[in-house]
Amino acid sequence: MNKVVLVTGANSGIGLALCERLLQDTEGLQLCLACRNMQRAQAARSALLTSHPTANVALLQMDTSSISSVLTAAQEVKLRYNRLDCLYLNAGIMPNPQFDVNAFFKGLFSSRIVTMFATGEGILTQKDCVTPDGLQEIFMTNLFGHFLLLSKATYNRSKQS
């Protein structure tokens, strides 16, 4: 029986490298790339199929920062596969730190100046926004979306066991 493996964030970086490794090391694998951007997902799938022409690689659109997208994807997983053998929760975002000019000038004339320059603490900030679902974007994308996928895609399976 072929293993069914789903990888979130599979279109680049660690997710894509993981998919490449899984295809190298596992015969008869059913690999599902769960990605937000389907154009990039298709490019990743094409790259994987170039190096593994007989591989079974499917695509699934899923944006872990959107509750409705995760619920739709979970339903699609239930319809396509009768089980998931492995689920790699790799998708995530990391906004680039921004230089906070106001914090820099405040810290420049304080006792925190050495710490500020040594660590960047207080002058490098990350912007986070609220999703349309009302959750912080980094939390929703990196954690809650995966929790929701796991609970919705596998809940009925565990009840059937």
Query: Which CATH architecture is the domain 4-91+133-160 placed in?
Result: 3-Layer(aba) Sandwich (3.40)
| CB neighbour burial string for 21-36, b if at least 16 within 10 angstroms, e if fewer | ebbeeeeebbbbbbbb
pLDDT bin (cut points 50, 70, 90) of residue 158 is: very low
DSSP the chain: ---EEEEETTTSHHHHHHHHHHHHH-TT-EEEEEES-HHHHHHHHHHHHHH-TT-EEEEEE--TT-HHHHHHHHHHHHHH-S--SEEE------PPPEE-HHHHHHHHTSTTHHHHHHH-TTTEE----B-TTSSBHHHIIIIIHHHHHHHHHHHHHHHH-
Please name every residue paired with 91 in a beta bridge, in sequence order, or none if there are none. none
**pLDDT for position 155:** 52
* Every domain range in the chain assigned CATH 3.40.50.720: 4-91+133-160
Tens-place pLDDT, residues 99-147: 888 888 888 888 888 888 888 787 777 778 888 988 888 888 888 889 8
Tens-place pLDDT, residues 28-52: 899 999 999 999 999 999 999 999 9
Distance between CA atoms of residues 13 and 58, nearest Å: 18
